[in-house]
Structure 1
């Protein structure tokens, strides 16, 4: 059966030459063309490998006429959401679209290369509908992390009953916000910066007195990952750190600096190679000016020779929304959007999963499970077939671990309330699937990896890790001698907690030699060699960060072949 692809022009008439060339490239597809605005549609047989092509076809044309009556040479570029670039053939050589049309089928371009790297113009287009950067809020318990997120985005991240009763964050919170700047250069800073929820229009009016007629320009669409600050929830914080591109470190001005989890969280983001940090000195409305100045000096001393050395320290009051516009300005200026990989097969870390069905639903109303997380690379598309690893993990009669990947199809993509046809690396995405919702309820998929069928990394049950231990325990108030706070060496047989991506799992130390350890995992992990691992040890009934490592090798599980 032939697959049918619909090429849609966005607002501008699509050149006939371009469509002719694309029809030559897409051999094996029935091609329909639609002029004018619309959304690209792709219809495929269930067994066929699903490929959706979302073109923004206002194609840039370059025509060169040579004299002497020779044939006209036409070279065209696909102008996609992700910028403009010539395609590459399977050997990696650049091929223009016009040249690709004349290639034999075996050497023709891989059409997935049409999803290409971002440009300034395409970045603006994407950021209107979904977030392009993840920023975490870290710091000690009750220092105002959730309040800052609410002040910027307007979203209350504390949602669960037990969280509201205790007034602390327990699960990872999430919220999106758009940051704008007034287009009138005379508008005074920092008031010219303003943050709204993700549902705000693209060009709202400025609300600074005297500039009400000026429009604002969208500069950033941000996903906030609100981490818990309590010491017993350190594993949850480490899971959130796996997807952060930058962090806001909250330090309460009415307490001494540093508090236990302030230093522990800072060490954790340093382990995760997070470079861009902004420090917020919160609750300045509760103290005198001289106290704030003294604590500012203490903060500067604390961050010396850490990853946050030289980071800006902004005095704020999240409750009163004081200096929130300054925070928005520094997010725009100090936390850049990292380069993203749109070409590789999609790979997404799952940090939350849900069953969105309510009791009493009719059978035909039941929806599939929803996975929430951040795409590391590649592009996810509606109707794409996906795989989740490790999937369903069981032990057989002999006690051996077996895993069966979950295969499903994407039925919807959401960035908060914005429904998407495709999702790119960057912010937090909700992926609606056809899988049984009992597999996703109550965060059961947390730590798993979602991606294109057959493209995900291997599943490991044993790891060989090159590790580095901290000199002292962080986040522990030690009494008596200093020796109590030192991190002792790893010993054979002890149990550790590993954080790999968003997966938290136990591990038994099988062997140790110098700075190399062999670890037997309590549950299998989908990861790859070279990935970073956070190591925690149980100290006084709590898991404490003691170091980090890098995966060198390991023992993998045999995964059943894909039925799709």
Structure 2
């Protein structure tokens, strides 16, 4: 039975037929993020051909799960992902439907991780119990979550089944030292094994008590940040059967309905005018993990079918775009003003590299929403920085921006900024 068939009236009225919260998985490559999501949702999120060949997550993946709670069983034994209690066998009640955002852990794919983080309401930080704490990417991911203002975090001590009791306790102490003075300092730390399903009921209980569903404004103008785009047509399809391009992402506010006219920014380059122009199109379908729906609300990841030529949306070409109703989004801009807070040292490096102040004229990589954009610093005054972007972006005032600098042939996270 699909979880959509178990949705009670109270949930449908409040959230519709879709998840109500986005939860990210973050941490070092090979620490078990994708395996954990498979254990919770039954879906393997790494489906891109290169991901299957290399055994790592390259693009941001996503999968949904419904959490149920048995009234008869004591916590955390009554939590599960099925309507029937795994402990006593009685019927359970729906607690919540969540959408998991699986981010790449490999250092060279940090931009993809930051794009995924922009849609997270909370996060699971995985740390392998059988490896040194912290690994460079574990530290980088935690600071990335902190940079983007994500405070609802559950720390998972994975692969505990591979160690003795004393070794697990020693590793636990290392994790507590690692998260001290970070956004995860007060977060619960739970030992699990994603492969064997150990402690998943307790994990679900902690997710439910720690990562709350945020209040969202459904009456505001809709805003959707794009994380995927693709062509759903198979080779050889007949011309009359071709479907328009599909764009995937998550609404942060407002509601979209089938038939709505929408605007996509920054849009496409007009070669004659040498400038980017927004794209206008129409919503022809709305898809969630629960199926095709007539409208979507904030929370969860959705796919928007459009009237666009499907060749335009291939290969995630619309990543970083913002979708709204025509005339409601901020104007495209190549100028960015930030109030900057730099880290003491660059993250993601094996050695401690001090972060020097931002210099006028230097090139930085900025993650604005789900968009990674290169920019050149044009003015520096104390903690305030002005940047000229290489391409325009749709920028919201007071938004969080992650800042990376080129260090030893890699872009390394050095701090964060708030849009002024």
CA distance in 1, matches of 2:215, 2:399: 19
Q: Pick 1 or 2: higher relative contact order, CA cutoff 8 A, min separation 6.
A: 2
**Residues matched between the structures, number:** 413
Question: 2:64 matched to 1:161?
Answer: no
**How far did residue 225 of structure 1 move?**
0.4
Contact 2:79 2:85 in 1 (8 A): no
**How far did residue 366 of structure 1 move?**
0.3
* Equivalent residue number for residue 79 of structure 2: 193
Summarize the alignment of residues 149-548 of structure 1 with structure 2, pairs less than 5 Å apart.
149-183=37-71, 185=72, 187-196=73-82, 204-208=83-87, 211-212=88-89, 214-394=90-270, 396=272, 401-478=274-351, 485-548=353-416
CA distance in 1, matches of 2:317, 2:20: 26
CA distance in 2, matches of 1:465, 1:338: 26
Contact 1:512 1:518 in 2 (8 A): yes
* Segments of 4+ moved more than 3 angstroms: 120-128
* Equivalent residue number for residue 32 of structure 2: 144
* Equivalent residue number for residue 81 of structure 1: none
* Equivalent residue number for residue 4 of structure 2: none
**How far did residue 122 of structure 1 move?**
4.5
Contact 2:16 2:297 in 1 (8 A): no
CA distance in 1, matches of 2:204, 2:379: 48
* Equivalent residue number for residue 27 of structure 1: none
Relative to structure 1, is the Cα distance of residues 151 and 163 closer, same or farther in structure 2, using a 3 angstrom cutoff?
same
- The gaps in structure 2 that reach 5 residues or longer are 1-7
**How far did residue 188 of structure 1 move?**
3.7
1:410-455: per-residue Cα shift (whole Å, max 9, x none)?
1111112421111000111111111111111100110000111111
**How far did residue 533 of structure 1 move?**
1.0
CA distance in 2, matches of 1:426, 1:401: 36
**How far did residue 191 of structure 1 move?**
2.6
TM-score by length of 2: 0.95
Relative to structure 1, is the Cα distance of residues 128 and 347 closer, same or farther in structure 2, using a 3 angstrom cutoff?
closer
**How far did residue 126 of structure 1 move?**
4.7
**How far did residue 271 of structure 1 move?**
1.2
TM-score by length of 1: 0.71
Relative to structure 1, is the Cα distance of residues 395 and 486 closer, same or farther in structure 2, using a 3 angstrom cutoff?
farther
> SS state of the match for residue 229, structure 1?
coil
**How far did residue 394 of structure 1 move?**
4.0
> SS state of the match for residue 322, structure 1?
coil
Contact 1:127 1:220 in 2 (8 A): no
CA distance in 2, matches of 1:356, 1:126: 31
Contact 1:458 1:528 in 2 (8 A): no
CA distance in 2, matches of 1:527, 1:493: 22
1:280-317: per-residue Cα shift (whole Å, max 9, x none)?
00001111110100010111111111100111111000
**How far did residue 206 of structure 1 move?**
2.7
> SS state of the match for residue 281, structure 2?
strand
Contact 2:16 2:296 in 1 (8 A): no
> SS state of the match for residue 547, structure 1?
strand
**How far did residue 220 of structure 1 move?**
1.1
Larger Rg: 1
> SS state of the match for residue 81, structure 2?
strand
> SS state of the match for residue 205, structure 2?
helix
Contact 2:244 2:305 in 1 (8 A): yes
Could you say what the CA RMSD is over the residues aligned between the two structures, in angstroms?
1.5
Contact 1:176 1:416 in 2 (8 A): yes
Summarize the alignment of residues 122-137 of structure 1 with structure 2, pairs less than 5 Å apart.
122-123=10-11, 125-127=13-15, 129-137=17-25
CA distance in 2, matches of 1:445, 1:126: 30
> SS state of the match for residue 510, structure 1?
strand
Contact 1:388 1:448 in 2 (8 A): yes
Contact 1:536 1:544 in 2 (8 A): yes
CA distance in 2, matches of 1:461, 1:221: 38
